[in-house]
Every structure is written in C-alpha cells, then in structure tokens.
A and B are shown apart, each in its own frame.
Chain A
Amino acid sequence: MGLPTVKSAELEDVEIGLLLTGIQQIYGYDFREYAAASIKRRLAHWLAESEFDTFSQAQSCLLRDPDTFLSLLQGITINVTEMFRDPAFFLALREQVVPFLKTYPFLKIWHAGCATGEEAYSMAILLNEEGLAGRYRLYATDIDEEVLQKAAEGVLPINVMQKFTQNYQKSGGTASFADYYTARYDHAILSASLKKNIVFSQHNLAVDAAFGEMHLILCRNVMIYFKPILKERCLSLFDHSLMPGGFLCLGLKEGMERKKWSERYEEMVPRTRIYRKCYATA
C-alpha cells in the first residue's frame, strides 16, 4: 500500500485533537482553546497513570463513561496554588489597593479560577485584618466542581503550612498565622471565620457569562493556559464584570499589553500586575 507512515508525535496530536472535539460535543467542556503544550503535558500525565496505552484506546471509555472523563477533567484542570503566593503581590494589594476598597460600604470580589481556594482564603485573611470583615462577599469560582468541594472544606495538608506562614509574613500579615487554623494530625483546618463571606461556585471562563458589578477581580495564572482568543474572551468578561475604578489582578507573568486594554487599565504598582480600570471608559 502507498499509505504514509505518520510519526508517533504527530499521530498523538491527531488523537488529542479528536478527543478534545469529542469531549466538547459530549460534555460541553471545550479545551481546544487551551495552549497545546501544557494541556498535552497534562493529558500525557493522565494517560501514563491510566490503564490505556494511547489516546485512541482511551477515547471510547472517556466518551462513554462520565467517571473516566471526570478523572481526566481533574488531570487537565488541576491548578496547584499556595496561600499568599507571590507575597510581594499581596503586600502591594494590602498597601496600595485596600485604602481604595475601604471607601466602599460593601465590596464584591470575584476570584476566577480559585482551584482549591488557598488564594481566596488568603484574601479573606487580608481583608479581615484590614478591618473589612463582614463588609465583603468573595465569589470564588472554578471550572471543576470537585476542587470547589475541597476549597469549601478548607482543609490543607499540614506540611505546606510552614511555607504558607513564610508567605503570609512576607505579605505584610499583622497577626500570627497559626491563629487562622487548627492542626489536627497531618491536616490544618482553616478557621470558620474565614469562610463566612466566601461563596464557592462553578463557573467556566470559556463559556459562561459575566459575573455582576465587581470592585475587585483576581484571576492569577489561569489565562497562561489559554490560547490568545480565549484569553481575550476572559479579559472582556472581566472588563464587563468590573465597575469603573475597580481592580483586576493577574499572575505575575500575565499582562494587558494590547492597546485595547492598556489605554483603559493602568498598572497600579509596576510588576505587580494589579490593574485599575479607568473611570472614563467608552
């Protein structure tokens, strides 16, 4: 036969393309607009841990059995995060943004892509310490229901708390970090007072709509996994959800360089990726 032989790397690209199309059509999750290099790595990791040798083999089971798909979904979407990740960012938030937030009687905050909730709880600690307890509602959303359940539980492995304590101290924390959790065997249970004003709910940045008039939106290290078109969709979504004079916080390697955004958003502190939306926007 004169058929060409395809290199295995190219074959795998074809298999992944077919699989992602199938997943979109059956489950509604669209990962075709995710940056390929990272999603391939995550998919390969899932495949290596699975009983299958190739994505073609796995496809039948993934498309017919929701439980198998859920295991893949967690492999694709998992975002490991930290409390007070990038302490310098949280310090700038505390010193430069909170004074503005204090001028509002009540605050609405959206944390998009909150994963297991570490940064949402960090935000709650920061706001409570700055005297804003009871004056805010923090909507923490993620694409993955399972991580949201974990986030709502607020239970962390004890071995990460030392690192989180260091982050907290570098971020300008004013209390003793140990006051915010109770150690039980090898776990740390976060204090109920931190959960009171957080609402965890499912939201898919790739398909769902805007989220109400927010004063502050955080979406850090989520859009680096998106192709430019999806990233632009997210930025528009945030723009529609943010009131004039509101703040948008991105990951330290994520920017709003495109002119469309740079003329309407001003970086508050250089290199913190804390942007403020101008009042006079068309």
Chain B
Amino acid sequence: MPRPKFQLIVIGVSSGGMQALKIILGQLPAEFPLPLLVVQHISSDAGDGLARLLDELCEIRVKEADEQDRICAGTAYLAPANYHLLVESDGILALSADPPVSYARPSIDVLFESASAVYSSALIGVVLTGANFDGSQGLKTIKQNGGIAIVQNPADAAAPQMPLAALAATAVDYVAPLDGIVAVLKKLADA
C-alpha cells in the first residue's frame, strides 16, 4: 500500500476557538485516519478541562498533549496551558516553557514551524478564528515546505484578524467556513 499523502493536521485557533473546535473536531469520524495537533490560546492557569470537554463531545479522541506522547491517528492533541507544543522527528510530542512568541504560549507559529520541519509536504495547516496574528508565519513556513494551507473564511470567523493575517502572509490552498473546512479535511485525509 502506498504511504498516504498526508500524515498530520495542525490547527491554530484563538478567540472563538471553543465553538470552532466543537464544529471541526466534532464532525470528524472516530476512524479519521490522521492525527491532529491543536494550539488554542488559553489563559496560563487553565487546566485540561477543554480537552476533556471536547473528548466528551467528539467521536475522535481528544486529549491534552503530554511530553513523549506518540501521535496516533484519530486523536487530537491540545497544547497545554503555558507550554509550547512541538513535534520531534520521530513523531513524538515535546513541550517547551520557552518565552511566549508573539505574546502567546502556546504559540501557533512554534507548533506549525516545528511540525513543518518534520512533515514538510505531508502536513496540513489550518488557521481558524482569532483576534491576533499568531499562525501567519507558521502557515507561510508550511507552504514554503510544500504543505497544504487552509484558512477559515474571515467572514465566517468570530474574530477575523487571525485568518486575515494568515491570508496576508501567504497564498493558501483553501479558504472556507468551518463546515467547508471539515469537508476539505475529510477529502485530503482520503488522498
């Protein structure tokens, strides 16, 4: 069997993220063939409540990322509060307490750049609603390394700034509302 074209999806989301993640992760089937890594900006003392809530609501498995987790298909890993989430070359997750990047920790750019260094053209990057510009540099890196870039339609986003910043930073492959993004992810996962 040939290796699947895509191996990992990374998602960055900020304000309005809870609702957006419910829609995206909530519509993926339990047997979804790709793993997902998610940075949602949250306050530094938040626990893993968001991951546990999403795990209840979704068919796919959702958990807070732990260091040394091996990424598995059909699972979404959320970056923990106050840590950056990165990927090692062997598909193992790593955390870092390095300074915030663009005021954010976890930072979307850090996740995207680290995943792109490992997965290059087998990576799909998704930037969703948010009121800052985190993720735009990371999405640009993903495109430069031959990956796929998806951005939520700013008109559909609770906070359009982050999608707009991503669109300004790089040419992207898909601009779509949340439901459309789910359809694209399902299609790409089967490619």
Contact = CB atoms under 8 A, between A and B. Distances in A.
Interface string B95-114: 11111000000000010011
A37 B98 contact: no
A88 interface: yes
A80 B84 CA distance: 13
Interface stretch (A191-199, A204-212, A221-229, A233-241): A221-229
Contact of B67 (A79, A80, A224): A224
A122 to B, nearest CB: 16
Interface stretch (A38-46, A137-145, A147-155): A38-46
A42 B68 CA distance: 20
A37 B88 CA distance: 5
Contact of A224 (B47, B87, B97, B117): B97
B117 A254 contact: no
A253 B83 contact: yes
Contacts of B66: 253, 255
Contacts of A252: 80, 82
Contacts of B94: 35, 37-38, 224
Contacts of A225: 96
A253 B95 CA distance: 8
B97 A221 contact: yes
A86 B46 CA distance: 10
B120 interface: yes
A115 to B, nearest CB: 10
A9 interface: yes
Nearest to A222: B97
Contacts, number: 57
Contacts of A172: none
**Which of A9, A38, A252 is most buried by chain B, counting CB atoms within 10 A of its CB?**
A38
A246 interface: no
Nearest to A42: B98
A254 B45 contact: no
A88 B45 contact: yes
B114 A41 contact: yes
Given A36-B89, A87-B45, A79 B97 contact: yes
B99 A80 contact: yes
B80 A41 contact: no
Contacts of A87: 45
Interface residues of B, number: 24
Nearest to B64: A253
A9 B145 contact: yes
Contact of B110 (A9, A35, A41, A271): A41
A103 B86 CA distance: 43
Contacts of A79: 97
A117 interface: no
Contacts of B88: 35-37
A87 B57 CA distance: 30
A178 B99 CA distance: 25
A251 interface: yes
B110 A253 contact: no
A38 B86 contact: yes
17 contacts: A13-B89, A37-B88, A37-B96, A37-B114, A37-B117, A38-B86, A38-B96, A41-B110, A41-B113, A80-B98, A88-B45, A221-B97, A224-B95, A228-B68, A252-B82, A253-B95, A271-B47
Q: Which 9 A-B pairs have the closest CB atoms?
A: A37-B86, A221-B97, A38-B96, A80-B99, A37-B94, A35-B94, A224-B95, A37-B114, A37-B88
Interface of B: 45, 47, 66-68, 80, 82-83, 86-89, 94-99, 110, 113-114, 117, 120, 145
Given A41-B113, A41-B114, 19 more contacts: A9-B117, A9-B145, A37-B96, A38-B86, A38-B96, A38-B98, A41-B110, A79-B97, A86-B45, A221-B97, A224-B67, A224-B94, A224-B95, A224-B96, A224-B97, A252-B82, A253-B66, A253-B95, A254-B67
